[in-house]
């Protein structure tokens, strides 16, 4: 069963949902697909965080970077852009990325295009907030806890 989550690394609700969704994926209950939906009108560091995560993905380390961004959200959420960039680079270093390559990738066309493409998809779906979760293609609107999401996954599985 696939869960697709449109998320913003600067969103507090996304930070609550992220470990729940990751745990479901790790235990094999779902396949988790992350989509970038930085809400730039209210979150000044969201797009840079998404690009930093996508740059980590270029080295096969997206999920580690994802987890670290959410775990340390309070430390970078209110920083000025350049200070947030330093925080993102520290995460890249801590998880063992080639930081020079990561730095280049973070501003590359491939990375910025990937983030922009997900945002366009979210806008085409007329999504207005994050996290927005789809369970097997159906929008989920319930609580962001393990039991409720797992129940939605199990219900969707019964209709296949």
CATH code for the domain of 84 = 3.40.30.10
Chain segment 3-25, per-residue pLDDT in tens: 999 999 999 999 999 999 999 99
What's the predicted TM-score (pTM) here?
A: 0.95
Retrieve residue 132's tokens.
Answer: 């927005």
Domain that holds residue 42: 2-158
* Per-residue pLDDT, 70: 98
Peptide bond into 81 cis (omega under 30): no
Chain segment 93-125, per-residue pLDDT in tens: 999 999 999 999 999 999 999 999 999 999 999
> Which residues 6+ apart lie within 8 Å of 37 measured at CB?
6, 7, 8, 118, 119, 122, 127, 130, 132
* Per-residue pLDDT, 159: 58
* Per-residue pLDDT, 2: 94
Domains identified in the chain, total number: 1
Chain segment 62-74, per-residue pLDDT in tens: 999 999 999 999 9
């Amino acid at each position: 069963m696939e869960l697709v989550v449109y998320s913003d690394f600067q969103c507090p609700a996304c930070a609550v949902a992220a470990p729940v969704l990751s745990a479901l994926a790790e235990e094999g209950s779902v396949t988790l697909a992350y989509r970038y939906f930085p809400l730039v009108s209210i979150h000044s560091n969201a797009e840079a965080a998404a690009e930093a995560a996508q740059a980590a993905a270029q080295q096969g380390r997206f999920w580690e970077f994802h987890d670290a961004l959410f775990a340390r959200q309070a430390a970078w959420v209110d920083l000025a852009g350049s200070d947030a960039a330093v925080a993102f680079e520290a995460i890249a270093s801590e998880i063992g990325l080639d930081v020079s390559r990561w730095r280049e990738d973070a501003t590359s066309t491939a990375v910025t295009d990937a983030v922009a493409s997900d945002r366009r998809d979210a806008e085409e779906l007329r999504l207005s907030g994050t996290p927005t979760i789809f369970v097997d293609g159906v929008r989920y609107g319930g609580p962001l806890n393990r039991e409720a999401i797992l129940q939605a996954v199990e219900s969707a599985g019964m209709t296949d």
